[in-house]
């Protein structure tokens, strides 16, 4: 198909992965006095050799932690340039191949002159194979920054950080890992936390901090560690306003008011129901909330977690109350949607390439028995697959019907009387 973005694949061969080199036109790394000047080889464009690619980012269920994002690129290796054993190739420095693990990798898509990040991470392997008699390919695989943070283990120390906010705790952990300040997008957070001895791996402590608030912690498409506080989806403009409507209405798709889809998969199994929720901070008192109506309808569905690191029981209780509100009721939700943007509509590419986690979308379906069913959802997983003839994207979605306008004390937008629902 002619209406496809251009795939850009770049590898930072020959430079230290942790150095924040100044990069022209980059909104974070292109600011003067925030990085250091690097050699021309900071990014080597290998797009001309890319035959196909996949990226997998996010999670499938809202109750799970975000998993490390991964990408795979099939590269043309007929001249042997991507063979790590070829020491006469173009990616060799002082007789040492640069095609090794932990090389910074980034993928982007350029459409109508605009560049959209798809993935940023670190190489896992450059695996060569030789299909047929005259062909050779290299499969480049990479994982995002969660990989590096999972490797980072800090030595236990005297307890530090008593009473700091969840965002500040994550910033502290990133500092310990030596993670660049320009590669962070952190909310302040709602809860405050206990002191930590820093005895666990950096990623483990970061995820526990996010769990203690029931917040979102992920790596964005441009490689930033992103922390969104618990109520961010009720206040962020891209979370409270639908960014796109997916529909099976051909008239709406042709008119450019919706994007068509090739498949949707709904879930209505009740696995997410939680009507007997317990949360507790480590070494503290259990905070349990229940919903009698939900228990009468679906039996007791227990959800227990007792290792949170909040510094007050009220914080643990607020998390339990929030979870009860979200999951006490039965919900039919769209779990997955598949889109082929080139055949969907004229405006599909800019919209689809710009989507990120927690963006709100709407899914419309006109069942054969009549009417239109509209399901509000949040994006929680984005998988791209592309080649020379077509690109497809699959979105994992989380139901948003139960996450609209709850009353939140002390919130400038959600704490206004007579404008929002009361929480339990």
Domains and their CATH numbers in the chain: 6-143 (2.40.10), 150-230 (3.55.50), 237-268+331-399 (2.40.30), 276-327 (no CATH)
Residue 319 C-alpha from the chain's centroid: 22
What is residue 410's predicted lDDT score, i.e. its pLDDT? 56
Cα 398 from Cα 335, distance rounded (Å): 7
124/208 Cα distance (integer angstroms) = 26
Instruction: Please report the pLDDT score of residue 331 as a whole number.
Output: 86
DSSP string, 343-409: HH-TTHHHHHHH--TT-EEEEEE--TTSS-EEEEEEEEEEEEEE-SS-EEEEEEEEE-TT-S-B--T
Residue ranges in the chain modelled with pLDDT below 50: 1, 16-18, 22-24, 32, 35-41, 412-414, 418-424
- pLDDT given for residue 401 in this prediction: 80
Angle, alpha carbons 71-74-77 (nearest 5°): 140
Report the distance separating Cα 246 and Cα 355, nearest Å.
13
> What pLDDT, on the 0 to 100 scale, is given for residue 323?
95
**What is the pLDDT, as a whole number, of residue 12?**
93
Give the H or E element holding residue 96: strand 96-97
pTM: 0.89
pLDDT at residue 41, rounded to an integer: 44
Q: With beta carbons less than 8 A apart as the criterion, state whether 179 and 158 touch.
A: no
pLDDT for res 37: 44
- Coil vs helix vs strand at 276: strand
pLDDT at 418: 47
The CA-CA-CA angle for residues 89, 98, 93, to 5°, reads 70
- The whole-angstrom distance between residue 267's C-alpha and the CA centroid of its chain comes to 21
Cβ 339 vs Cβ 405: under 8 Å: no
Confidence (pLDDT) at 28? 55
Selection from 269, 260, 254, 249 nearest residue 335 by Cα: 269
Give the per-residue pLDDT at 408: 56
């Amino acid at each position: 198909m002619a209406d496809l973005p251009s795939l850009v694949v770049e590898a930072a061969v020959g430079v230290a992965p942790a150095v924040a080199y100044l990069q022209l036109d980059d909104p974070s790394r292109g600011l003067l006095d925030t990085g250091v000047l690097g050699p021309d080889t900071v990014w080597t464009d290998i797009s001309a050799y890319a035959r196909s690619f996949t990226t997998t980012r996010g999670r499938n269920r809202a109750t799970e932690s975000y998993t490390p994002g991964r990408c795979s690129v099939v590269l043309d290796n007929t001249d042997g340039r991507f063979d790590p054993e070829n020491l006469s190739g173009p990616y060799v420095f002082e007789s040492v191949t640069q095609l090794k693990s932990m090389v910074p990798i980034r993928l982007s898509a350029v459409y109508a002159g605009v560049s959209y990040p798809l993935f940023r991470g670190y190489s896992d392997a450059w695996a060569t194979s030789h299909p047929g008699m005259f062909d050779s390919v290299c499969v480049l695989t990479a994982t995002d920054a969660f990989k590096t943070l999972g490797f980072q283990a800090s030595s236990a120390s005297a307890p530090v950080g008593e009473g700091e906010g969840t965002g500040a705790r994550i910033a502290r952990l990133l500092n310990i890992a030596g993670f660049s300040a320009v590669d962070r997008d952190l909310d302040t957070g709602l809860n405050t936390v206990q002191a930590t001895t820093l005895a666990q791996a950096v990623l483990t402590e970061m995820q526990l901090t996010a769990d203690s608030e029931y917040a979102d912690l992920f790596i964005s498409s441009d490689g930033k560690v992103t922390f969104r506080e618990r109520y961010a989806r009720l206040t962020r403009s891209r979370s409270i306003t639908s960014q796109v409507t997916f529909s099976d209405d051909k008239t709406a798709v042709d008119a450019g008011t919706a994007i068509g889809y090739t498949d949707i998969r709904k879930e209505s199994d009740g696995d997410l129901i939680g009507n007997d929720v317990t949360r507790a901070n480590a070494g503290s008192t259990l905070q349990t909330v229940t919903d009698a109506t939900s228990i009468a309808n679906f039996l007791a569905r227990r959800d227990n977690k007792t290792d949170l690191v909040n510094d007050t029981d009220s914080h643990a209780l607020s998390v339990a109350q929030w979870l009860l509100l979200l999951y006490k009721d039965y919900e039919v939700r769209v779990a997955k949607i598949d889109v082929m943007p080139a055949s969907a509509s004229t405006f599909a590419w800019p919209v689809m390439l710009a989507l990120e986690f927690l963006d709100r979308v709407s899914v419309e379906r006109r069942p054969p028995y009549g009417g239109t069913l509209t399901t509000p959802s949040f994006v929680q997983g984005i998988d791209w697959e592309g080649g020379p003839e077509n690109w497809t994207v699959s979105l994992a979605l989380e139901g948003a019907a139960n996450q609209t306008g709850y009353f939140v004390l002390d919130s400038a937008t959600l704490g206004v009387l007579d404008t929002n629902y009361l929480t339990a």
